[in-house]
């Protein structure tokens, strides 16, 4: 299947990043969000990344303008007929919210349209089941920040067809990224490994073994990680980390995935990380 037009649902950091890489790669892109302020921030983010690329000599000014001209902001899904060949969702990491998004899209989108979810941990098969096109449904998990990170996890649901998987692999290659196909299990590969590490780092602080800064220093200097696990958690969002740990804990029923009480307490306090100005660290604008 030839894909010409992309629609991205959700203009947060992940959605805006996904829209950016598609527009930069020559696709016509519609970025949807019911919140017009979220759309404004999303476009500002895209423009900021492009400006940085120009400053570094990675992009020409006219290339930026062409990419922005391929990007259209949408605040009402029903105002005009959906014409996208491929729709990817990047809304909040909550199962029922994602299901509701795809129920609506299934009614509005053309029958040939492929659906993808950028979920980092939720079951692809279960989300696909709310649509009438499970064979055209797939997981396409981008890494954050999307414009920089090369990996895309591709996750087939039980009914995902070979042609759908091949189309998404070709899209990934067209974006200059590398795909890894994984099975539909909680957390897939990336977060099944990453989140328990972050959770264990939180436990070392909770149990008084080391300070926040020292835990991160051990992983940066001792394991050569570019960023410590607690700083990384702040960038991901502590609410997102907690949600994924709960999904792993429920999905596998194994106590090793039990979220650290301190992580839960930080989320309850509104200390959600960089986006809230405070998590394990404090951030200014």
Spatial separation of the C-alpha atoms in residues 33 and 10, rounded to whole Å = 5
118 is catalytic: no
Strand 28-32: give its sheet, edge to edge.
Answer: 71-74, 28-32, 5-9, 86-89, 114-117, 137-142, 151-156, 178-182
Q: Which of 5, 28, 93, 153 is catalytic?
A: 153
- 80, exposed or middle or buried, with CB in 10 Å at 0-12, 13-18, 19+? exposed
Spatial separation of the C-alpha atoms in residues 61 and 188, rounded to whole Å = 38
Q: Which of 120, 121, 199, 243 is catalytic?
A: 120
Residues contacting 59, CB < 8 A, separation 6+: 50, 53
CB 103 within 8 A of CB 131: yes
144 is catalytic: no
161 is catalytic: no
Distance from chain centroid for Cα 110: 24
18, two tokens: 């996904």
100 is catalytic: no
In the 8-state DSSP scheme, what is residue 34? S
Q: Which of 28, 89, 141, 243 is catalytic?
A: 141
In the numeric block, the tokens 């950091």 are attached to 13
Q: Which of 118, 121, 191, 243 is catalytic?
A: 191
Distance from chain centroid for Cα 238: 15
Catalytic site residues?
120, 141, 153, 191
């Amino acid at each position: 299947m030839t894909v010409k037009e992309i629609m991205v649902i959700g203009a947060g950091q992940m959605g805006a990043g996904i829209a950016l890489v598609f527009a930069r790669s020559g696709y016509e892109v519609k970025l949807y969000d019911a919140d017009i302020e979220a759309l404004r921030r999303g476009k500002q983010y895209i423009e900021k990344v492009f400006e940085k690329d120009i400053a570094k000599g990675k992009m020409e000014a006219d290339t930026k303008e062409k990419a922005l001209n391929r990007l259209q902001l949408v605040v009402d899904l029903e105002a005009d007929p959906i014409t996208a060949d491929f729709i990817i969702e990047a809304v909040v990491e909550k199962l029922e919210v994602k299901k509701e998004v795809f129920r609506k899209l299934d009614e509005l989108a053309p029958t040939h349209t492929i659906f993808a979810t950028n979920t980092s941990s939720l079951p692809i098969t279960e989300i696909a089941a709310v649509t009438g096109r499970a064979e055209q449904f797939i997981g396409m998990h981008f890494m954050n920040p999307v414009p920089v990170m090369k990996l895309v996890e591709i996750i087939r649901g039980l009914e995902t067809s070979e042609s759908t998987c091949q189309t998404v692999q070709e899209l990934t290659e067209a974006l200059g990224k590398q795909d890894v196909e994984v099975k539909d299990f909680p957390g897939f590969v990336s977060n099944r490994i990453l989140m328990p590490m972050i959770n264990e780092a939180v436990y070392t602080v909770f149990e008084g073994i080391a300070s926040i800064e020292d835990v991160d220093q051990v992983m940066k200097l001792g394991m050569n990680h570019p960023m410590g696990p607690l700083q990384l958690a702040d960038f991901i969002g502590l609410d997102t980390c907690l949600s994924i740990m709960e999904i792993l804990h429920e999905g596998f029923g194994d106590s090793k995935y039990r979220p650290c009480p301190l992580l839960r307490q930080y989320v309850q306090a509104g200390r959600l990380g960089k986006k809230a100005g405070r998590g394990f660290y404090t951030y200014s604008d």
